[in-house]
Amino acid sequence: MKVTEDQVVEEDTGFQDEEESFFQDIDLLQKHGINMADIKKLKSVGICTVKGIQMTTRKALCNIKGLSEAKVEKIKEAAGKMLNVGFQTAFEYSAKRKQVFHITTGSQEFDKLLGGGIESMAITEAFGEFRTGKTQLSHTLCVTAQLPGEDGYSGEHQMELLDFVAAKFHEEGGVFKLLIIDSIMALFRVDFSGRGELAERQQKLAQMLSRLQKISEEYNVAVFVTNQMTADPGAGMTFQADPKKPIGGHILAHASTTRISLRKGRGEMRIAKIFDSPDMPENEATFAISAGGVTDAKE
């Protein structure tokens, strides 16, 4: 579903059209006394919009080479003026959420399960065992994000490319709709292999997920990540029906807005289940994997 201008709620209260504020270039900070040299320092770490400054902590900004606490405070103050930062009423937040769009999975039943498809401004995680359809779903989303009537794009990016991705999203604001990482834990499982490195792995994972969440909100894109499963050592003690669980622990569990569990059915049939969601009920949907990707299951 493409969000058009007439779908954005505008009230007489003077509430600013979020589409305008969404992509405010940080070059505009010059009007508030921020010099271009400091603006370039922000861009070098992938902060290209005023909203990006708002979502970055003072501590993180102070860690940027060449930015003192005084400069950071001045930058934050300028960004606050441009965005009119403060408390929001439920109505104001609801108006912002009008911009959220959904990308079809290719299956109507699957879309219905998700309330319309993969949601923007959010991280959607799909996990399952081998051959449950994770990568096929990723490939299908690459195509459906580009259906007529929508300007879409997609790609698989690793952690070190996220700054480049953010810059690209900024350069062509409103063009990109989808960011896919298949799979999100593969890199971390290779780089951090032992239990002694678990704490560091989870810290790095948390940083990456925080960056992904900011990108999804800053540029109004849907972030879709796939995840693997592993045996749960404690499952035997609790008599769980399924002794496997998604990897990534609580860090990934809490970062994902919606979590989808995938499992095999007969033949090319697959079953998707809402594992965790803030607004969708726990339910299941059946879909199929065909030569053309994800599609509706035939009766």
Please give the C-alpha separations between residue 57 and each of 79, 128, 211, 217, in angstroms, as whole numbers.
13, 34, 12, 15
- Taking residue 290's Cβ as centre, other Cβ atoms within 10 Å add up to 14
Q: CB-based burial of residue 280 (10 Å sphere; 0-12 exposed, 13-18 middle, 19+ buried)?
A: middle
CATH class belonging to 96-296: alpha beta
Peptide bond into 183 cis (omega under 30): yes
Model confidence pLDDT, tens digit, residues 238-294: 555 556 788 888 889 999 999 999 999 998 899 999 999 998 999 999 999 998 899
CATH superfamily of 26-83: 5' to 3' exonuclease, C-terminal subdomain (1.10.150.20)
Write the pLDDT tens digit of every residue in 20-74.
Answer: 445 688 899 999 999 999 999 998 888 888 888 988 889 999 999 999 999 999 9
Copy the structure tokens of residue 133: 């359809």
Beta bridge partners of 264: 270
Give tens-digit pLDDT for 99-152.
889 999 999 999 999 999 999 999 999 999 988 999 999 999 999 998 765 444
Q: What residue ranges do the domains of the chain occupy?
A: 26-83, 96-296
pLDDT score of 158 more than 90: no
Whole-number Å distance between alpha carbons of 1 and 105: 12
- CA-to-CA distance for 57 and 186, rounded, in angstroms? 28
Q: How confident is the model at residue 6 (pLDDT cuts 50, 70, 90)?
A: very low
Token representation of residue 221 = 């894109």
Question: Are 55 and 214 within 8 A, CB to CB?
Answer: yes
Q: What is the pTM of this model?
A: 0.74
Binned at pLDDT 50, 70 and 90, residue 86 comes out as: low
